[in-house]
Amino acid sequence: MKANLAQFQRQNIITRVKSPSKHASKMIQPQASNIKDRSDWGLATRLVHSEGYVDDAFPSSMPPLYQTATFSQPGATEMGEYDYSRSGNPTRTVLESQFADLEGACRSFAFSSGMSALAAAVRIVKSGEHIVAGDDLYGGTSRLLSTIVPVHANIDVTNVDTTNLKAVQAAIIPGKTRMVMLESPTNPRMQICDIKAICDIAHAAGALVCVDNSIMCPLFQRPLDLGADISMTSATKFIGGHSDVTGGLLAVKDAELAEQIYFVQNAEGTALGPFDCWLLIRGLKTMALRMERQARNADAIANWLTEQPEVKTVNFPGLSTHPGSSIHAAQASSSGSIISFITGDAVFSKKIVDAAKLHKITVSFGNVVSLISMPCYMSHASIPADVRAARGLPDDLIRISVGIEDVKDLIADLNQAFRAARS
């Protein structure tokens, strides 16, 4: 049996490939001289084919799951490539290496949630320094920056309208501002920020830029290509795609900055577990199919919403009436699948949401199932009402995360929900 195994291994020669991961030496992929270099592949192809596979005696067609906390070492005074899954796990290495490739990053890091990923990015900022952040952010991010960061880390935070470049410039304090944090599109008002212009402003003052790219993902937008230093993606959304895993990913451009992020990830124990990493690797393979279908559905639904007499404003960058549509088209390849709209009447909006059947009343977004919610009462409820009002976040706002269902059925569902709200 051992002889047969040795012969099998010799016949299945594998070649190590370069990887941005700390554990690069364990990444392999089959030799393939008859195909183009990976850098020539489209994103959809790179989503299906992982950056590398874990060294495996039986080269599997899918990356194996290393569901273990510890690894045996070569000797009493020798350390192997992996020792403890908090510090590194082969399954997590596959995910982090592939995501770095998709983002055009030096390295990427998988965390237990999107919030733990953002918290790790904030750790780069020292006590006494300053963060400039958008004023239309996910509720959890706003909570982190308004309560934890100022109180427990002694870091000042200034919220500004990041669609206004002059406001961003004015908020930055040279020598003190360490980081600018933004979303584009923003959540939930779907405002568009000029990422490249903000990066230029921030870098001129010596500040880093961290972009929450959860709505677009690297399939539709790559913040690092636009000048950002850190790109954060909530893997809970489109990466997993089925609302059955929680995770967050940081993609980092600079090697020195990457080492700092890795130190925080390891020291604080916030790395994503191997099974969740395995689920995300699987999710990546269908992400292009899902997101492209969702985007087509969203385009049709956004146009349908503009025709409803009760709808005052539809926030969707794919509409020519959206004030940021031209900027978004210049920095992203799709309008995505998140829509928000206002009716001017919170009671009417509530009736619409309650009457929806195919659209599930759920927080988060990016699921294959269409979701609907009123952010002020769910995902953004942690933001005080007076702060929401000052930032222009109205109680009647409805957010839809468009799924992969038949778009005719989705529109029919919304149509019946509007009829029910009118009655």
Q: Which residue bears the tokens 């993902």?
A: 217
Give the start-to-end residue ranges of the domains of the chain.
286-422
How many Å is the Cα radius of gyration of the chain? 23
Cα–Cα dist 401/192, whole Å: 17
Distance of CA 177 to the CA centre of its chain: 24
Predicted confidence at residue 379, as pLDDT, reads 75
β 107-111/248-252 pair status: antiparallel
Q: What distance, in Å, lies between the first and last C-alpha atoms of the chain?
A: 75
Predicted confidence at residue 149, as pLDDT, reads 97
Q: Which of 162, 93, 95, 150 is nearest to 122 (CA)?
A: 150
Predicted confidence at residue 99, as pLDDT, reads 97
Token pair for 355: 């009457």
Tens-digit pLDDT string for the chain (423 aa): 444 444 434 343 333 333 444 454 344 444 444 456 788 899 999 999 887 667 777 888 888 999 999 999 999 999 999 999 999 999 999 999 999 999 999 999 999 999 999 999 999 999 999 999 999 999 899 999 999 999 999 999 999 999 999 999 999 999 999 999 999 999 999 999 999 999 999 999 999 999 999 999 999 999 999 999 999 999 999 999 999 999 999 999 999 999 999 999 999 999 999 999 999 999 999 999 999 999 999 999 999 999 999 999 999 999 999 999 999 999 999 999 999 999 999 999 999 999 999 999 999 999 999 999 999 888 788 788 888 888 888 999 999 999 999 999 999 999 999 999 999
Provide the annotated active-site residues: 86, 138, 212, 237
Cα–Cα dist 359/31, whole Å: 46
Cα–Cα dist 138/187, whole Å: 5
3-state secondary structure the chain: CHHHHHHHHHHCCCEECCCCCCCHHHEEECCCCCCCCHHHCCHHHHHHCCCCEECCCCCCCCCCCCCCCECCCCECCECCCCCECCCCCHHHHHHHHHHHHHHCCCEEEEECCHHHHHHHHHCCCCCCCEEEEECCCCHHHHHHHHHHHHHHCCCEEEEECCCCHHHHHHHCCCCCEEEEEEECCCCCCCCCCCHHHHHHHHHHCCCEEEEECCCCHHHHCCHHHHCCCEEEEECCCCCCCCCCCCCEEEEECCHHHHHHHHHHHHHHCCECCHHHHHHHHHHHHHHHHHHHHHHHHHHHHHHHHHCCCCCCEEECCCCCCCCCHHHHHHHCCCCCCEEEEECCCHHHHHHHHHHCCCCEECCCCCCCCCEEECHHHCCCCCCCHHHHHHCCCCCCCEEEECCCCCHHHHHHHHHHHHHHHHC
- DSSP for 378-416 reads TTTTTS-HHHHHHTT--TT-EEEE--SS-HHHHHHHHHH
At residue 298, the 3 state secondary structure works out as: helix
Q: Which CATH superfamily is domain 286-422 in?
A: Aspartate Aminotransferase, domain 1 (3.90.1150.10)
Cα–Cα dist 205/199, whole Å: 10
If residue 157 lies in a helix (H) or strand (E), which one and from where to where?
Answer: strand 156-160
Predicted confidence at residue 236, as pLDDT, reads 98
